[in-house]
């Protein structure tokens, strides 16, 4: 049954996140460690080779598209009480396309590029950049150009960024909420999310216009 698979998925993600988060107490450092585990253990495959997969399947196969890597990263962070959203930018035809996952922390969106396998660096070249910073300094994205490779997201695209919340029907269900409430101590699992509260907080933060 799919419910059993998703419960096993949550157990795997919890156990991985407990090990991969490192010993730091800083939430940004923890998220960075979980991102590093994701890109090291989920081999990137081109978007053209996309196959629909649940996160537990991505973990088993050890490979996925940039978007599937983002899903794994988001769920690992959720097990540690951290929220990650997926950002999309406008294409020339007016459609939105996947860009990258972003950690929502202290009213800011910190950018992690699952296609490059690197966090977007801030003005000091060391910290993780926020969406607000890359909007204010277009050189942060331009600095990712290497030779003939041009970073695929241009400054103009940042004028229209949308944030998608990561949630499956199971995570929004009443049965998941009831089960989560019964699991405590070493058995504790994060099985649910509150997308409406997340959306309100992100909109209030002013990073998504």
CA–CA distance, 16 with 29 (Å, rounded to integer): 16
Question: With bands split at pLDDT 50, 70 and 90, how would you rate the model's confidence at 209?
Answer: low
46-101 tens-digit pLDDT: 999 999 999 999 999 999 999 999 999 999 999 999 999 999 998 777 788 999 99
CA–CA distance, 209 with 90 (Å, rounded to integer): 13
pTM of the model: 0.92
11-30 tens-digit pLDDT: 999 999 999 998 878 999 99
Q: Which two tokens stand for residue 198?
A: 């997340």
Pairing between β-strand 96-105 and β-strand 108-113 as defined by DSSP bridges? antiparallel
């Amino acid at each position: 049954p799919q419910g059993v698979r998703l419960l096993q998925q949550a157990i795997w993600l919890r156990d991985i996140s407990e090990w991969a988060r490192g010993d730091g107490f800083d939430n940004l450092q923890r998220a960075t460690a979980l991102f590093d585990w994701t890109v090291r253990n989920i081999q990137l495959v081109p978007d053209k080779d996309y196959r629909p997969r649940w996160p537990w399947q991505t973990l088993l196969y050890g490979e996925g598209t940039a978007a599937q890597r983002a899903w794994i990263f988001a769920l690992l962070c959720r097990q540690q009480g951290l929220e990650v959203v997926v950002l999309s930018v406008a294409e020339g035809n007016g459609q939105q396309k996947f860009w990258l996952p972003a950690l929502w922390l202290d009213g800011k969106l910190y950018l992690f590029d699952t296609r490059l396998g690197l966090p977007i660096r801030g003005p000091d070249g060391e910290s993780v950049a926020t969406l607000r910073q890359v909007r204010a300094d277009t050189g942060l994205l331009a600095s990712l150009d290497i030779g003939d490779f041009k970073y695929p997201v241009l400054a103009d695209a940042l004028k229209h960024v949308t944030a998608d919340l990561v949630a499956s029907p199971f995570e929004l269900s009443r049965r998941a909420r009831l089960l989560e409430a019964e699991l405590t101590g070493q058995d504790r699992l994060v099985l649910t999310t509150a997308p409406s509260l997340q959306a309100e907080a992100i909109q209030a933060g002013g990073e998504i216009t």
